[in-house]
Structure 1
Amino acid sequence: MSADILPVATSAQVRAYARRLVLRHPRALAGALLLHALAAAAGLVGPRLLGGLVQDVADGHAAVDGIALAIAGFVIAQAVLLRYAYYASARLGERVLAGLREEFVDRVLALPLSAVERAGTGDLVSRTSRDVGGLSSVVRFAAPEAMISVVVVVFTAGALLLVGPLLMLPCLLAVPAIWAVNRWYLPRARTGYLRENEAWATLTDGLAETVAGARTVEALGLQERRHRRADADIAGSWERERYTLGLRLVAYPVVTMSFGLQVTATLLIGGIYHVHGWASLAQVTAATLYVQQLAGPVERLLDQLDSLQLGGASLARLLGVATVPADRAPGAARPRPGQDAAGTRLAARDVRYAYRAGHDVLHGVDLVLRPGERLAVVGPSGAGKSTLGRLLAGIHGPRTGSVTVGADGCEVPLVELPLDELRGHVALVTQEHHVFHGTVRDNLVMARPDATDEQVHAALAAVGWDGPGPDAVVGSAGRELSPAQAQQLALARLVLADPHTLVLDEATSLLDPRAARRLERSLAAVLDGRTVVAVAHRLHTAHDADRVAVVEDGRISELGSHHELIEADGPYAALWRSWHGST
């Protein structure tokens, strides 16, 4: 497993959260428990009446009709009560599940982007799909069934005690076996289900990578390698599922045999009691029926323990999302987003950054952006351009050094700014964009909810929008946008947000060169006076920039204007000649 997988909550945290979640609705919980208690009580009358009927028959004077009608009445009463009890439990379960889902969505949206990127797609997708789905089943079915079983077991045991304390002794014969097997099973099951879900996350991650990079896989002939990765992930998942299946194959037969032992022991020992005059025929009959009736809820309870273990593992993974440490610590004094952009600058000083401990990808980078300038960041693939862009946008915090924003005398590290303030200063646009289901306007105003129609139209016009109108539905189940239009939409959203500093990480890479150049020129006009950092591999961006920063091996090897660097005849001049000659 990846060392950067999202954390998992402890057993104590899961139990504490489960208690808080259920107790949020005390009246609904009390109502459901009361209905189940009444249903259980109604179900206990029948065996007692039937035991008395057997005794009366043995004594030669039985009122069969009256007892039969009474038994039928209590059976009907139990059925009605169970109907409303299950309905109350289902309503409570749905309310609990709704609250849990809302909290999980809030936790996911609050995750630092850097943590999401390190964890990978598979882990988060498996938590939002498999774990949420598994927990939904537990909340809807397993938890109510377990609660019902506990109520029925308590009432049935009480009724058995009232029939005759001696007749409870046979039931105790199965307790050591059931206790021992559950003591062995439960801790292993939790660990097994956690490992099973982790394996599923790895499998999901590999399949997502293969699907997302299908064209690259085909172009580079990587099909066999991806097949081997998928086969290995499936084998790992199967091995862990086989482990939990093995646990169940040991625990379930022991529990089932214990129930059969209880009924047999009650009949045998009850018969001995009756022969010696220690129990009446009515008591033995009622006790046997109660033990048989007790077996059902106890078996369901133990059966649901497995589902509860699976649900507990899922809940631990969902709650673990909330334990991801924040990547920023708001400071006391901060520059405000509304201050004059002309006096605000972004600065990186002695910045080092590592995705893995001991492996820096940036090495002592110093860069001070001039307010209102356009800086192009160029360099070979893997040099650290995008990493530097993300640090300048506040996505990542530096390992050492600082990235600050503000005017002279009022600079603050980006990591001390809450996200809403940070995005008022600097915003990042990459080559990867998502179009949300909704109208074009919905996709834009998420950057500025109070935007007017005029501002929306102006933002679209600024990027040369050639897609459908603002009221057109796009995204899933809507009108499909081309990659270029999706990028235009993201850039229009950026214009609407209106931060004073923009970081464009190859934001026009999916557009053809002519369209990209036209779009960048229109942005330059709209963003006049704003600071722009453009990470690009097309050097025409560098040609138009005020300054060019050349990044090589995690360091800025050159910094200056296009003409200055051409005259210096260094790495940038070599890149320019190579790129210009290929076009």
Structure 2
Amino acid sequence: MSATVLPVADGGQIRRYLRTLLPGRRLLLAGTILVMLGVSLLNLAIPATIGWITQAVVDRRHPSALTIPIALLTAAVVAGAICTYFARLLLARLVFPAVGSLREDALSHAVDLPIDVVEAGDSGDVISRVSGDAERVTDAASEVLGYFVTSALAIVAALIGLAAIDWRFAVAGLLAVPIQAHTLRWYLRRSRPIYAAGRAADGRRASALLTGFTALPTLRALGLTGRQRGRIESASKESMGYELAAMQTMTRFWGRLNLAEFVGLAAILLAGFFLVRSGTTSVGAATAAALFFAGLFGPINGVLATFDTLQQAAAGVARLVGVTTVPRHETAFETGTDQVVEVSDLTFGYADGPAVLDDVTLRVGPGEKVAVVGTTGSGKSSLASLVTGLRTPRAGSIVWGRPVVERSAALVTQETHVFAGTIADNLRLGRPDATHEQIAQAMVAVGADHWVRTLPDGLDARVGGGGRPLTAVQAQHLALARVHLMDPALVVLDEANAEAGSDTSRQLDRAFAAVVRGRAAVVIAHRLNQAADADRILVMESGRVVEQGNHAELIVAGGRYAELWHAWSAG
């Protein structure tokens, strides 16, 4: 079972966050409540006028005596319908922007989470929060919240109406309250942990499914599909178990509410019988009282029933707000340095594991190309992710200069992803305002224009999921063209290319040269010919820089770089 490292917000954090949504909406909130209160008061006229009509029939009055109560009943129904429409409209204008802000804020934080947090935790948990939890909150806001508020106001208005007829009717109706209160307390105590655990289980199920689909080729190659299927089934059964537990709890909840309705209505009818028999009240008043209480069935059950959805939405809000409490990752920078980036006394390790970088120092000036070489596991790729600000060091500092602050830094890693959309869409991720001509020029710069011209739709050809599959070289061309279009001040290339001398190698080497030309660059060299023309070379061993200099100097020195070069050249 995966540990979830993303926090779940507590009540105080949720209240503080919701208060940030109120400014500018207080007047709209007050107007919405007033219109909802008007709906509830108009609903009081319906049982009152029916009681009036009933008493007129019992007293055998002239039919003309029914004109006024029927007119009032009609007016109350029409006015209530109009007020209900405006109440829903105002509520939508109040709630939807607030929910949208929460959803966008959570998604923004999720996208901006430090990569260490994402890798250390459960990717399915992140996905379930910004998808499933957000959907539950949106559904509750659009369908349940307004009903909850109007039902609560209707209950208060109906109790006032009962007391206005005769305080003894109100007392009789209140006999149902202890049963309802106990039922609600029992339900909240039992359902809250079920829903919270169920949402976490949904995250684990999403993670198992995500792993199963994204790693399917590897799982098949290693014969692990059966094991992964078992993980998915186990996670699905766990999630389904919580759904069943929630359904059983809800069924018992409704059964107890039906008992409360029976007790309350029986008490009202008995009170009406004795009050009418003693002449204390009229048949019309007793009828109105019974209708008032019967009219409470819907609102009371509605309020209590919406707790089910509100419980789920509350769990979703806690998980969404929890994402926003994770500090955004920010890389330190200064504007006074004359270097593009300065790394000083850097120490880094993954999670609680041993350090993979120790006391590393690196400075890259404008237009300078620095190559980093070393054997597998020496810490080259970890340094690349730190230089671009994707990870946070344990100790030391990473300082960006003014060029990076103004124009950003870009990292091309060993894994490239082709996004679903057109080729132009993929490139505009790096520069949304890029014109068609600028995109075409970027493809020419990295040498990708020849294969793009062979496509029927050219730059408008759809690639990625559901589109045209691209080769590894074509995917690399897209990634490099995107960086070229971004025009960053610093480029970090961590790319394991094809073997030296192959057509693929020569194509990508020319593309790399185009991308780093005129820019500061850190090249994680998996082939040593990538380092030979660098202005400076850093040689790493076991997370430390053991040598540095240019190619000629390091060959003459006869140290570790010279050994690697001679072994690579002989190979």
Normalising by structure 2, report the TM-score. 0.85
The reply on whether 1:268 has 2:270 as its aligned counterpart is yes
CA contact (8 A) 1:475 1:481 kept: yes
What corresponds to 2:345 in structure 1?
Answer: 350
Letter in 2 for 1:496: L
CA contact (8 A) 2:339 2:364 kept: no
What corresponds to 1:462 in structure 2?
Answer: 445
Shift in Å at residue 206 of structure 1? 1.8
- Describe the superposition over 1:46-70 as per-residue Cα deviations: whole angstroms up to 9, x where unpaired: 3222223333343343647535565
- Describe the superposition over 1:462-491 as per-residue Cα deviations: whole angstroms up to 9, x where unpaired: 211232688626457896461433322221
- Describe the superposition over 1:58-92 as per-residue Cα deviations: whole angstroms up to 9, x where unpaired: 33436475355654554344344434443444454
What corresponds to 1:98 in structure 2?
Answer: 100
Distance 2:566 2:72 in 1: 97
What corresponds to 1:431 in structure 2?
Answer: 414
Letter in 2 for 1:186: L
- Describe the superposition over 1:373-407 as per-residue Cα deviations: whole angstroms up to 9, x where unpaired: 34043422x5533212111222112101233445x
Cα distance, 1:302–1:526 mapped onto 2, change above 3 Å: closer
Helix, strand or coil for the counterpart of 2:151?
helix
What corresponds to 1:135 in structure 2?
Answer: 137
Cα distance, 1:4–1:71 mapped onto 2, change above 3 Å: closer
Distance 1:21 1:510 in 2: 56
Shift in Å at residue 512 of structure 1? 11
What corresponds to 2:460 in structure 1?
Answer: 472
Letter in 1 for 2:149: M
Distance 1:134 1:111 in 2: 22
- Describe the superposition over 1:253-277 as per-residue Cα deviations: whole angstroms up to 9, x where unpaired: 2223212221111112222233333
CA contact (8 A) 1:190 1:312 kept: no
Cα distance, 1:479–1:202 mapped onto 2, change above 3 Å: closer
* Equivalent residue for 1:402, pick from 394, 397, 401: 397
What corresponds to 2:202 in structure 1?
Answer: 200
Letter in 2 for 1:484: V
The reply on whether 1:499 has 2:499 as its aligned counterpart is no
Helix, strand or coil for the counterpart of 2:359?
strand
What corresponds to 2:59 in structure 1?
Answer: 59
Distance 1:72 1:452 in 2: 62
What corresponds to 2:109 in structure 1?
Answer: 107
Cα distance, 1:508–1:120 mapped onto 2, change above 3 Å: farther
Cα distance, 1:534–1:149 mapped onto 2, change above 3 Å: same
Distance 2:203 2:498 in 1: 31
* Equivalent residue for 1:183, pick from 182, 185, 196: 185
Helix, strand or coil for the counterpart of 2:350?
strand
What corresponds to 2:300 in structure 1?
Answer: 298
Shift in Å at residue 335 of structure 1? 3.7
Distance 1:108 1:365 in 2: 30
Letter in 2 for 1:323: T
Cα distance, 1:299–1:522 mapped onto 2, change above 3 Å: closer
Shift in Å at residue 167 of structure 1? 0.8
Letter in 1 for 2:407: G
Cα distance, 1:494–1:188 mapped onto 2, change above 3 Å: same
Distance 1:287 1:506 in 2: 79
Which deviates further from its counterpart, 39-48 or 171-180? 39-48
Task: Give the total of aligned pairs.
Answer: 561
Shift in Å at residue 291 of structure 1? 0.4
Distance 1:7 1:143 in 2: 26
Distance 1:162 1:512 in 2: 95
CA contact (8 A) 2:498 2:504 kept: no
Shift in Å at residue 545 of structure 1? 5.0
Distance 2:335 2:458 in 1: 36
Cα distance, 1:256–1:401 mapped onto 2, change above 3 Å: same
CA contact (8 A) 1:131 1:317 kept: yes
Shift in Å at residue 326 of structure 1? 3.0
Helix, strand or coil for the counterpart of 2:448?
coil
Cα distance, 1:62–1:160 mapped onto 2, change above 3 Å: farther
Letter in 1 for 2:173: C
Cα distance, 1:74–1:349 mapped onto 2, change above 3 Å: closer
Cα distance, 1:404–1:56 mapped onto 2, change above 3 Å: closer
Shift in Å at residue 192 of structure 1? 3.0
Shift in Å at residue 163 of structure 1? 1.1
CA contact (8 A) 1:376 1:545 kept: no
Distance 2:298 2:448 in 1: 66
Distance 2:147 2:562 in 1: 69
Distance 1:223 1:566 in 2: 52
Helix, strand or coil for the counterpart of 2:411?
strand
Distance 2:466 2:353 in 1: 46
CA contact (8 A) 1:346 1:368 kept: yes
What corresponds to 1:359 in structure 2?
Answer: 354
Shift in Å at residue 527 of structure 1? 2.6
CA-atom RMSD in angstroms: 3.7
What corresponds to 1:410 in structure 2?
Answer: none
* Equivalent residue for 1:235, pick from 212, 234, 237: 237
What corresponds to 1:147 in structure 2?
Answer: 149
Letter in 2 for 1:217: L
Matched-pair identity in %: 33
CA contact (8 A) 1:32 1:89 kept: yes
Distance 2:561 2:508 in 1: 28
Which deviates further from its counterpart, 456-465 or 159-168? 456-465
Letter in 1 for 2:509: E
CA contact (8 A) 1:474 1:481 kept: no
Which deviates further from its counterpart, 313-322 or 519-528? 519-528
What corresponds to 2:286 in structure 1?
Answer: 284
Helix, strand or coil for the counterpart of 1:230?
helix
Shift in Å at residue 171 of structure 1? 1.7
What corresponds to 1:517 in structure 2?
Answer: 506
Letter in 2 for 1:9: A
CA contact (8 A) 1:462 1:523 kept: no
After superposing on structure 2, the runs of 4+ consecutive aligned residues of structure 1 that deviate more than 6 Å are 509-512, 560-563
Letter in 2 for 1:241: E
Letter in 2 for 1:37: L
Distance 1:334 1:370 in 2: 14
Distance 2:7 2:185 in 1: 26
Distance 2:523 2:404 in 1: 22
The reply on whether 1:490 has 2:479 as its aligned counterpart is yes
Letter in 2 for 1:160: L
Letter in 1 for 2:49: L
Distance 2:549 2:238 in 1: 52
CA contact (8 A) 1:39 1:81 kept: yes
What corresponds to 2:7 in structure 1?
Answer: 7
Which deviates further from its counterpart, 429-438 or 352-361? 429-438
CA contact (8 A) 1:273 1:279 kept: yes
Distance 1:200 1:328 in 2: 31
Segments of 5+ residues of structure 2 without an aligned counterpart are none
- Describe the superposition over 1:224-246 as per-residue Cα deviations: whole angstroms up to 9, x where unpaired: 22122212322332333344344
Which deviates further from its counterpart, 30-39 or 567-576? 567-576
